[in-house]
């Protein structure tokens, strides 16, 4: 499935900040946007196969991975603008935009702000479609959480794999991919700049009551673009009901639920993920960002 294609991390400077990314392949562009505390490496299991038919671009979002972690704007709008700028800087006018978790919120924001850049929209266990989110993320937004995070990310704690497994299991996280990715995410918060970027990002979209940013009031605009929703039925971070609700809001969308997957279906079932994504791209026409179409939808939505 994976082949032998390598996708080394590259970098470019945008607005005075280092932005890292992986890219390769040829054909229509597919942009892959990771979730919070994650990096472009989350797509490594699917990048080689996708690159056989498409040009792939997977950034490390600002504040994540090897990209810069400045004191600045970590809103969804700023992330969307950053992805747009990276696309343009690398010579890409438009493409299919795929977002996982936080990256789903970024993908929706990009499609909303820059519809001419988005051929298709793919959400994978996405944020921004309801208030429910795991207790651990809500707790991390509490005052003083930045003082606790260094303890959670301490190397000695992370080395205690069994203890972490038991603790995460008690709060609903499954052993296996969900636990491993959460642990890897915590490990990425080992330096102060990464922790501050995480807190700023999280507090822009989540508070102690849950997700505070919702796309549901604007989701009808997705009727103007081919729209695929992928969800792991056993997701303990963001419930699958959010995916079903989004599909109900946009009847023209496609919904694919992976029954044995959690929050990371592209890692737990990469072959199926690849089949679903490739079929979606190859059986739909790219969106035509016609101003009159958006005017029609906005007028209808305001009625």
DSSP assignment of the chain: --TT-----EEEEETTEEEEEEEEE-SSEEEEE--TT--GGGGTTTHHHHTTTSEEEEE--TTSTTS---SS--SHHHHHHHHHHHHHHTT---EEEEEETHHHHHHHHHHHH-GGGEEEEEEES-SSS-S---HHHHHTTSTTHHHHHHHHT-HHHHH-HHHHHHHHHHTTPPTTHHHHHHHHHHHTT-SHHHHHHHHHHHHHHEETTEE----TTTGGGGGGS-EEEEEETT-SSS-THHHHHHHHH-TTSEEEEETT--S-HHHHSHHHHHHHHHHHHHTSPPP---HHHHHHHHHHHH-
Are the C-beta atoms of residues 33 and 59 closer than 8 Å to each other? yes
pLDDT of residue 153: 47
pLDDT of residue 220: 82
pLDDT of residue 223: 81
CA distance 185 to 153: 9
Domains of the chain and any CATH numbers = 10-133+210-302 (3.40.50.1820)
Q: Please name the residues in contact with 217: beta carbons below 8 A apart, sequence gap of 6 or more.
A: none
CA distance 112 to 219: 9
pLDDT of residue 288: 82
Strands 55-59 and 17-25: antiparallel
pLDDT of residue 2: 43
Catalytic amino acids? 101, 235, 263
pLDDT of residue 199: 87
The C-alpha torsion from 189 through 66 and 121 to 116, rounded to 10°, is: 130
pLDDT along the chain (303 residues), means of 10: 67 96 96 95 95 97 95 94 97 97 96 94 94 76 58 45 48 59 69 86 84 84 91 94 94 95 95 98 89 75 56
Reading the block at residue 74, the tokens are 């970590």
């Amino acid at each position: 499935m994976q082949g032998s294609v390598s996708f080394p991390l590259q970098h470019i400077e945008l607005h005075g900040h280092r932005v890292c990314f992986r890219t390769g392949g040829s054909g229509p562009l597919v942009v892959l946007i990771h979730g919070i505390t994650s990096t472009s490496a989350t797509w490594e299991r699917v990048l080689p196969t996708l690159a056989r038919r498409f040009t792939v671009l997977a950034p490390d979002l600002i504040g994540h991975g090897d990209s810069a972690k400045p004191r600045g704007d970590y809103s969804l709008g700023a992330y969307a603008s950053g992805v747009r700028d990276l696309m343009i800087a690398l010579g890409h006018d438009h493409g299919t935009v795929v977002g996982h978790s936080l990256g789903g919120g970024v993908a929706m924001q990009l499609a909303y702000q820059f519809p001419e850049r988005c051929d298709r929209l793919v959400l994978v266990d996405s944020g921004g479609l309801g208030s429910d989110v795991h207790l651990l993320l809500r707790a991390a937004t509490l005052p003083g959480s930045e003082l606790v995070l260094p303890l959670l990310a301490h190397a000695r704690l992370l080395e205690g794999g069994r203890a972490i497994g038991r603790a995460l299991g008690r709060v609903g996280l499954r052993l296996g991919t969900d636990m491993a990715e959460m642990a890897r995410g915590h490990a990425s918060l080992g330096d102060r700049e990464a922790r501050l970027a995480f807190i700023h990002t999280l507090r822009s979209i989540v508070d102690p009551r849950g997700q505070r940013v919702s796309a549901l009031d604007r989701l009808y605009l997705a009727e103007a673009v081919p729209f695929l929703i992928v969800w792991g039925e056993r997701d303990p971070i963001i419930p699958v009901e959010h995916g079903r609700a989004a599909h109900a809001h946009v009847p023209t969308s496609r919904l694919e639920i992976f029954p044995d997957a959690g929050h990371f279906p592209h890692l737990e079932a990469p072959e199926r993920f690849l089949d679903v994504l490739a079929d979606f791209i190859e059986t739909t026409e790219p969106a035509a960002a016609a101003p009159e179409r958006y005017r029609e939808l906005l007028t209808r939505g305001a009625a």
